[in-house]
Amino acid sequence: MNAMTEMTTWRHEKVLFVNNEKAGLKAIIAVHNTNLGPAIGGCRLFPYASYDDALFDVLRLSRGMSHKNAIAGLPHGGGKGVIIADPSMKTEAMFEAFGEAVNNLGGDYITAEDVNTDCDDALVMLRKTNHICGLPQNSGDPSPFTARGVWQGIKATAKVTFGTDSLDGLTIAVQGLGKVGYDLCRHLHNSGAKLIVANRSNKEIAAKAAEEFGATVVSTDEIMSVKCDIFSPNAMGAIINPNTIPTLNCKAVAGGANNQILDEASGLALKARGIYYAPDFVINGGGVINAAAEVDGPYNKDAVLKKVDNIYNTIEQILTESKATGKPEGVIATEMAEKIIYG
């Protein structure tokens, strides 16, 4: 990957590579845009195969955060941090070093929890920087708010796709049972949905979903092609691509994973198949809405929930426009966001 080309194409402001051998930290922080205010975006920890893979992810994620924050009406730009490591390699020294790197950006980037990082890790970062949110004593873990927003977005998707936002009796295939995916299953189950689930790394959590929600468990290889009404991806990104689109057996895609569609051509191919798509950076905005409320203060949970629940209206608006015009939902959402960011 030519990093400078990607940065220029996507209009990133800065990318920081961190290699702290003493702390065992290899990381990248990308600040996409600060036009609306300091960039907010979580820090994820993942065993990327290479720096190129990590760079590709952090550039896409940080741009997505700019779009997400703009659509959500937040006074913040987008940024993201990625730590290249296996979750079993976590150390306090690693997160202290990451906190130092965040602090060196002088407030342009505000970090938080993300994939494979949690409130305990945030407290370690807090030792080295105040540019952090999602702290347990304040807004806390953002994942329940993300899950709630995804649930609202799925209801709106059902309304446009099937003519009613009732999920009772609908079959929803949930890929990924992390903090967001599992909490989402609870919302869906309580709404009367029938669940099919798959989880790659922890088979016990899938068994728990079967017991608690009556979910049918399938393999990670099967989940994208099972017959369902709505496919809900809640793991890693770029899964809607030329290889997977022909195998989808659903009427709509709506889930919490970031950057679900590989590229613009894949978005067009999905639309050509007549499958509705709830743009990921809109539907999964609940977590950052909650975290930003901590930064912008004073924190008010009721106000946060009202804003999270409005994700329903935004998704309905985008899908309705797509239905009327034939324009891919992701294109509509991106145009909405960039109009806010760039004017």
Catalytic residues: 80
Kindly state the DSSP code that residue 130 receives in the 8-state scheme: S
Query: Which residue(s) pair with 45 in the sheet?
Result: 83
Q: What is the helix (H) or strand (E) element at residue 9, kind and residue range?
A: helix 3-10
How far apart CA 301 and CA 138 sit, in angstroms, is 10
Q: What angle do CA 52, 54, 57 make, to 5 degrees?
A: 110
Query: Which residue(s) pair with 113 in the sheet?
Result: 43
Token pair recorded at residue 324: 């009327």
Residues sharing a CB contact under 8 Å with residue 153, sequence separation 6 or more, in sequence order: 254, 278, 282, 283, 311, 312, 315
Place of tokens 């905005």: 285
Nearest to 318 by CA among 280, 273, 272: 280
Q: What Å distances lie between residue 191 and 112, 166, 170, 172, 195, CA to CA?
A: 30, 8, 10, 11, 11
Token pair recorded at residue 241: 């691509």
How far apart CA 339 and CA 57 sit, in angstroms, is 24
**Would you say how long the chain is, in residues?**
343
How far apart CA 213 and CA 232 sit, in angstroms, is 16
Q: What Å distances lie between residue 293 and 14, 56, 133, 142, 258, CA to CA?
A: 25, 29, 9, 11, 21
